Amino acid sequence: MTIKGLIFDLDGVIVNTEHNHFLSWKAIADKLSISFTERENEQLKGISRIDSLKVLLKMGKVEISTNDFDALILEKNEHYLASIADLSEKDILPGVKVLLEDAQSKGIKMAIGSSSKNARFILNQLGLTDYFEAIIDGNGVAHPKPHPEVFLNAANELGLEIANCIVFEDAESGIEAALKGGFYVVAVGNPHVADQASEFIPSMLDFNVEDYA
Ligand SMILES: [Mg+2]
């Protein structure tokens, strides 16, 4: 495999804001008197905010109006944005910065393929924006993961063939999306999804771009 491009999911791969998401959804769940723990939160990982609220409501067998739905979507995001406002370079997950620098020095192109509508904000907070030639986020796709659109758009914007790109993912929906798109998928950090991907690594420290270039 000749690797010319690396496509990264954001949450759980480059930075871990899963706990921020959990606390924000927990606040919404409490408001609706829906029982919600880290265990239920697993079902929300990697899917869009709108789909997450749908799943949450289904869990609690709660029905609400469209207006209330829209208001809760905004409220969740405000809670989350407030909680991630102090993210900085120290929050970048181990091995990520070294890999980005290494890949950049070898002329390998890099993109973000994330469901998050806050991807650009987070990358700015982390000081990583300039590493990426393409940032495909939740604002730019019609079909969220597990649809492959986000990764196909990323490869397309990089001007690369799918066969020359590796996707890094930590969530089931993202791995499914990348596999459907025909990509080689490296599962990072989440042992629960290890056997679903092309390869599993405990952290980015375990990935050496030279093994693929
Ligand atoms: Mg993720």
Tokens 């791969």 map to which residue?
A: 13
Is 102 among the residues known to form the active site?
no
Amino acid identity, residue 23? L
200 alpha carbon – ligand 1 mean position (Å): 14
206 alpha carbon – ligand 1 mean position (Å): 18
Which pLDDT belongs to residue 88? 94
Q: Is 202 helix (H, G, I), strand (E, B) or coil?
A: coil
Beta bridge partners of 8: 112, 168
* Set 11, 91, 195, 211: catalytic member: 11
pLDDT in tens, 125-145: 999 999 999 999 988 899 989
* Set 9, 30, 86, 91: catalytic member: 9
Task: Check: CB of residue 129 under 8 Å from CB of residue 123.
Answer: yes
Strands 109-113 and 184-188: unpaired
Structure tokens at 45: 């990982």
**CATH 1.10.150.240 domain extents, the chain:** 18-84
Of the chain, the percentage scoring pLDDT greater than 70 comes to: 100
Structure tokens at 137: 């986020």
Task: Check: CB of residue 173 under 8 Å from CB of residue 167.
Answer: no
C-alpha to C-alpha distance for 61 and 33, rounded to whole angstroms: 11
170 alpha carbon – ligand 1 mean position (Å): 5
Task: Check: CB of residue 6 under 8 Å from CB of residue 110.
Answer: yes
51 alpha carbon – ligand 1 mean position (Å): 15
Q: With a cut of 50, which residues of the chain have pLDDT below it?
A: none
18-84 classified as CATH 1.10.150.240: yes
213 alpha carbon – ligand 1 mean position (Å): 25
C-alpha to C-alpha distance for 99 and 126, rounded to whole angstroms: 15
184 alpha carbon – ligand 1 mean position (Å): 16
**CATH 3.40.50.1000 domain extents, the chain:** 5-16+88-211
Is 11 among the residues known to form the active site?
yes
Q: Which of 75, 40, 38, 76 is nearest to 59 (CA)?
A: 40
CATH of 5-16+88-211, one of 3.30.70.141, 3.40.50.300, 3.40.50.1000, 3.40.605.10: 3.40.50.1000
Which pLDDT belongs to residue 140? 85
